[in-house]
Chains A and B, each alone.
Chain A
Amino acid sequence: MDGAAPRHVGGPRSFVARLRDGDEVAHLITLVFAAVILLITSMLVYELWVSSHLSRAQFGWNFLWTQTWDPIFDHYGAAPFIYGTLVTSIVSLIIAVPLGLAAAVYLAELAPRNMSDSIAFLIDLLAAVPSVIYGLLGIFVVVPVVRTTIGPMLINTVGNVPVIGRLFKGPNYGVGFLTASIVLAIMIVPFIISVSREVLLTVPREQREAALAMGATRWEATWKVVVPWARTGIMGSIFLALARALGETMAVTMVIGNDPKIRESLFASGYTIAAVIANEFTEATGDLYLSALIELGLVLFLMTFILNGLARILIVATERGGGRPS
């Protein structure tokens, strides 16, 4: 629908007339609010850039691949935190996307409507639970289960597979990348289900009926017609989930072990950018220390930015392969 069309009904009117009937006022007010968002974002980047000056001047690009984080000898590098943030986010998506997508397809396409609605209500509730609660769930449930059940199971099975097995080796204390990823996955699954379900429900009935009329089974109609139609929206839900995973602080810091080291095993302890900022910011006394923490914030912002950019490109690329006509 073309949003601008109704304003010109009856030909062009004077500015005063438009002001009087409110169109111009509404236009200006909404414009201001939209501009505020842009302003806040650029102020954020500017502040992060300026406040991280000391650290950028001292370490330059080396900051990104240095592995030491030493507040006593004032030597800072972001590599273990970038690594931890990426690993936990990616692994949590690997767990959450199939789970969330399958649940959304079931709720939108297969489940009876009133059951689907009541479950969707519960899922929206889950999305609103504070992250510290998920952290507690992590400490008291996920950590012991990973230490005593999931960990040994993975070590004895996938751990023996060549190449990929290296991800499942070493001592397993229950806290670490895998546990953090599982907790993150639990936290982001509601986002994926909720948004994907809504999107799937908006797919026009005709699309389904056409596919069924062509002789497709119900599953074929769902998987080959409905899901591709909703692809953009589903991707959107995944990126929303990714954004939450990248920035999640409390729940992650409670279960990841907070140890700034790069290790390939998923059972090893690690650290994420958001977690280290939350942990160390209040007691950071030195100027360079503070500046390095702020530069970590800048790195996180840029990571989110780049990943979102890649996501857009991915959407455009996959759109050519079919799906929703625009």
Chain B
Amino acid sequence: MSKNIYYFVILLLGTVLINTVVTKWLYPSSPQSNTEEQLDQVLQGVKQQSASISALESSLKRLGTEVSRLDSKINQVQDKAPSVPTSTTTQLTAPVSDERLTKVDKQLADLEQQLTALLANQNQTQPTDLQNVPSEVPDPYAGMMPEQIKQQQELARQQQQQLLNNTISSTIDPSKTSQISSSFESYLNTAKITGSPPQVDCGTTLWRFQFSQATLLTSTGEEVDPMMALMESGAFPADGTQRTIITEKTAQGGMDLYVGNADDFPKSPTQ
């Protein structure tokens, strides 16, 4: 019995020994040790990723803080925007000079004058053709009452007529007078326009035609405007020069025409 136990123990020890030797031969390193190392490596990686995630979290928090700060700034700017003074309000709060007020008053008076003229003319306007143009010049009668304007215009008309007559008288040119007069009369004869020929007086740059009647007549009885007859007569060369014509009906039923080159025509007294 004790021998059997002895063999059993010896066999058991031998088996263990052989098992150990075989195991050592087959697996030089311990699998448990490898697993632990791998686990250590995995654990290390997890720790690194955790650190990265923490860093990302931190960055996100900082970004969130920055966005909140920017939003706050934008809100502040938007809240302040309506209260920022504009250039217009700055001008309005600045003291306005008397000169500027006078100019504004003048502009308002001009506008009122134009409105009055528009209202006066609205019944006579017709569609198409020479349309309104925004360009404007100062109105010499701005701010005046209609009656005052009429008086001023009549005075200006008389002054201009006087100026025209004086200019012609002081620069009278008999040779030009003869030339223009014969040329115009020739046209009247050719066109068979009847009526008394006009009295013609030519200055250096200005011509005057005085008709005893405000209209001329053709051979068929049609009325002819002296101004139109003069324009198409050829009495003045068709050289592309722009001219000015002023016509005035006289108290005696006649018509006076003043013709001159636009650049040489005397200025209106109202200018």
Q: Is this pair of chains taken from one and the same complex?
A: no
Chain A residues with a Cβ under 8 A of chain B: none
